[in-house]
Chain A
Amino acid sequence: MRLRHPHAVFVHGDSPVHRLPAHVKVVALAATVVAVVATPRERVGALVAEAAVVALAAVVARIPAGVLARRLALAAPFLVAAVALPCVGGGPRVDVVGVSLSVEGAWAAWGIAAKGLTCVAATVIVTSTTTVSDLIAGLSRLRAPNLVVGIASFMVRYVDVLADEATRTRTAMAARGYRPRWAWQATPSAGAAATLFVRAYERGERTYDAMAARGYAGRMPRIDDAGTPPATWCRGLALPALVVALAVAGVVLGIGVAP
């Protein structure tokens, strides 16, 4: 079992998207995703154009196509559902190459696949160009509660430590011949998880003591408090604004309706 490495998400590089502040990117992502989800699935042209804008953003961010494709595939299990829908959906049916498909189910499948993939791609663009700690600092600038920001930053700092500890425990167990195949062989695995919890808790206590000794009183000091110039907001929100415009055009003007 390989534990995923959280920081492997970030792709080192330099691009206009890499340079944008994290909180601008989070707002841009939210606007894009909401616009895509709000676009009716019958507006095929609008959805395709929105996907093209997201693809353009990936080009601007200089994300290698292979990386993008691999991450899309990781997030794609919901496509299995989309494939099943036309076969088993209800309502009127239509014959396509000898296979009877539900019209309603096919539309649902198209909607889930198109919107889902476009939104995952938009998310991958943001996560590939932002380090996790920048992302959390961005959430803090967007007025996320202090407690949540604090817990999240501790979490990403210690996930690696705990994952390494879990991997070492597994290796030690495997070296001693533990290769569980059936549910009733799970007791040692659960014991290892319990040990991991106890150690994590004790590490938390030690960390708190060390921080209290250095003057910690419940919140971390903010380092960068400079405002964001309007020009930065404009650059960051240019492409999302295009997606929103396409969604509005699709809804109001009926652009891109399928035949």
Chain B
Amino acid sequence: MHIPDGLIDLPTSFTAAAAATGGVGESLRRVRRTAQERVVPLAGLAAAFVFVLQMLNFPVVAGTSGHLLGGALAAILLGPWVGVVVVAVVVVIQALVFADGGVSALGLNVVNMALVTVLVGWVVFRAAAWILPRTATSIVAATTLASWASVVAASVAFTGEYAAGGSGGVALGTVFGAMVGVHALIGIGEGLISGLVVSAVLASRPDLVVGARVAGFRGSGRSRVSRGAVGGFVAAGVGVAVFLLAVVAPRASSSPDGLERVAADHGIAGTAVDSFAAASPLADYDVGGLGGDLRTILAGLVGLGLAFGVGAAATRVRSRRRRAAVEVPTVAEASS
């Protein structure tokens, strides 16, 4: 999600920097008002936790792994204002120390990753927790939903920034479809893992989950999310993603945007549109104008499948090579 230097123009970057300064400044004021000197060590440790959380790998499919962005999780565990400050500090240090995200794009990255994810995550969490009954299961379900929404919202914010000052003659609809579509998929993982983390914290130290306290849940205990609910959440997320990637993105015209994953996916999807449409048995298929649409949608789906297959194959080869190379696993390898 880190935007590099040179992708978004300076006026947009400076506007975002002003918005980031305002948003983080307001959060700082609210943090100072509620908590005093205690907050520095606690928030510092929480920032270290968010930083390490982004280095932890969680299994996805066939040995591939991903990591959390953690914005919504930070909001629910720490409350929205401390959450904004903590994630903003993490983003600033990542840019200045690890060259993760551009220095001129710092404002954009703080807006997307600290302000949008934390605040959208918090609002969705509060709304869901308000509707659902006051139980541990509801808190976990609300966390899952909020985390998914926060990731999708960040990708929508990126599309807006790209529309305002992006470089590259790329159709906006395509950027929107590809970017938000991929993040609707990523958000499923973010949602499920965040839900599991909050569920585990609720079981041991429920008093540490600020979101649960604010939502009026004061008990402790295990949450029980049914398999059907998880399946429904995954199916809905995949549905949104497929709709955006296969229907919105290819139809808006061809071209990817900047962020690496989307571009890689869509680069394959984009070339697949040409070759598939020409050679496919559907090339002459046309029923009342529906054929063209169907073809594009199918081509998008095939491109998506191809991109996914290449990614899975690549990680597979890599992990097999690693396993072959290391006879006695070292600490690092054993934990991969």
Contacts and interface: CB of A to CB of B under 8 A. Distances in A.
Do A and B bind?
yes
B197 A190 contact: yes
B77 interface: yes
Given A37-B5, A119-B6, A158 B169 contact: no
B184 interface: no
A153 interface: yes
Interface string B85-97: 1101110110111
A53 interface: no
Contact of B44 (A26, A102, A132, A155): A155
Nearest to A9: B97
A174 interface: yes
Contacts of B97: 6, 9, 127, 132, 135, 156
A154 B4 contact: no
B61 interface: yes
B263 A151 contact: no
A29, A186, A204, most chain B CB atoms within 10 A: A204
A213 interface: no
A126 B68 CA distance: 28
B258 A81 contact: yes
A84 B261 CA distance: 11
Contact of B7 (A78, A152, A173, A212): A78
Contact of A33 (B103, B259, B264, B266): B103
A127 B52 contact: no
Nearest to B42: A204
B38 interface: yes
A158 B69 CA distance: 19
A71 B36 CA distance: 39
Contacts of B49: 162, 196-197, 200-201
Interface string A30-48: 1001101110010000000
A183 interface: yes
Interface residues of A, number: 103
A217 interface: yes
Nearest to A37: B104
* Size bracket, chain B contacts: 35 or more
A48 B258 CA distance: 22
A257 interface: no
Contacts of B258: 78, 81, 112
Interface stretch (B152-160, B212-220, B239-247, B248-256): B248-256
A235 interface: no
Contacts of B51: 155, 159, 162
Secondary structure at the B interface, as helix, strand, loop or mixed, is helix
B152 to A, nearest CB: 18
A206 B98 CA distance: 29
Contacts of B40: 147, 150-151, 154, 208, 218
Interface in A200-232: 200-201, 203-205, 207-208, 211-212, 216-219
A198 interface: yes
A38 B167 CA distance: 12
Given A90-B254, A120-B5, A201 B102 contact: no
Given A30-B103, A84-B263, A197-B77, A182 B43 contact: no
| Residue from B38, B49, B193 with most neighbouring chain A CB atoms (10 Å) | B49
A154 to B, nearest CB: 2
A24 to B, nearest CB: 14
A249 interface: no
Contacts of B170: 85, 89-90, 105, 108
Interface stretch (B130-138, B279-287, B288-296, B328-336): B328-336
B171 interface: yes
Contacts of B36: 218
B205 A148 contact: no
B167 A204 contact: no
B201 A197 contact: yes
A37 B10 CA distance: 7
B46 A204 contact: yes
A163 B52 contact: yes
A174 B45 contact: no
- The listed residue with most B CB atoms (<10 A of its CB), out of A26, A91, A190, is A190
B318 interface: no
Contact of A162 (B39, B48, B205, B260): B48
Given A155-B48, A195-B200, A205-B42, A111 B6 contact: yes
Interface of B: 4-7, 9-10, 13, 24-25, 28, 31-32, 36-49, 51-53, 55-63, 65, 68, 77, 85-86, 88-90, 92-93, 95-100, 102-104, 167-171, 189, 192-193, 196-201, 204-205, 208, 253-260, 262-264, 266-267, 270-271, 329, 331-332, 334-336
Given A104-B169, A116-B6, 15 more contacts: A89-B169, A89-B255, A111-B168, A112-B7, A132-B93, A151-B44, A151-B89, A186-B59, A186-B196, A189-B193, A193-B193, A194-B199, A204-B41, A205-B42, A208-B42
25 contacts: A37-B5, A37-B13, A87-B270, A90-B171, A102-B255, A105-B255, A112-B258, A114-B6, A115-B6, A127-B97, A135-B97, A150-B44, A151-B44, A151-B47, A151-B86, A155-B90, A183-B58, A190-B196, A192-B56, A193-B56, A193-B197, A198-B208, A204-B46, A208-B41, A212-B37
